[in-house]
Chain A
Amino acid sequence: AQKVTQAQTEISVVEKEDVTLDCVYETRDTTYYLFWYKQPPSGELVFLIRRNSFDEQNEISGRYSWNFQKSTSSFNFTITASQVVDSAVYFCALRPFDDYKLSFGAGTTVTVRA
């Protein structure tokens, strides 16, 4: 069984503040993939990042950064210097290496106020 938990339901920040989204997962698999997706108001999910379980290197892409810690089963996502366009629902997801079952967390709604 696998489970993804995003404990933060909603986060509201003022523009230029940093915001960190938590993601904790459970899986019996030793190898797996973790993902983050963004869902803007239009509804379509947009892929942000994929991380393999055997690669714990953190990653930065522009204002986005991700912190993967296998020891605590966490894959947190930080938006630095947030902008109004970052307002969206963000989902964390997990997929086992040898299965196509892709499971999502409940999502975190981020609102960035001008």
Chain B
Amino acid sequence: DGGITQSPKYLFRKEGQNVTLSCEQNLNHDAMYWYRQDPGQGLRLIYYSQIVNDFQKGDIAEGYSVSREKKESFPLTVTSAQKNPTAFYLCASSVGATNTEAFFGQGTRLTVV
């Protein structure tokens, strides 16, 4: 089935450790996104990528890093520099052209203890 797969669904890490969240899509979409969701703050954009080997910072990129080596993959690394990493992370993709909506994965809930 076509779609966006985020793994794992739940992730626990110790404070100070880097952790990488996976996002894979088989929709042949050019654009991919990472959002962070906290209660009462909606979805805040971390990074987005319009095309392979290119990505831009969103509104809250500090403490995060991404790569886009393949069209179908856009992994997000939460580094130890991120002060408050516990959150729900959502990945999305869109065709990339104008006039298209984004499709979302089911999210990864990261808990740092």
Contact = CB atoms under 8 A, between A and B. Distances in A.
Interface of A: 6, 9, 33, 35, 37, 42-47, 50, 52, 91, 93, 97-98, 100-107
Contact of B58 (A45, A101, A107): A101
Interface of B: 31, 33, 35, 40-45, 48, 50, 56, 58-59, 88, 90, 92, 94, 96, 98-107
Nearest to B30: A100
B86 to A, nearest CB: 15
A106 B102 contact: no
Nearest to A9: B40
Nearest to B88: A43
Contact of A100 (B50, B101, B104, B105): B50
B42 A106 contact: yes
Given A47-B103, A102-B33, A91 B42 contact: yes
A47 B96 CA distance: 16
B10 to A, nearest CB: 11
Contacts of A9: 40
Nearest to A10: B40
A44 B11 CA distance: 17
A9 B41 CA distance: 10
A102 B106 contact: no
Contacts of A42: 106
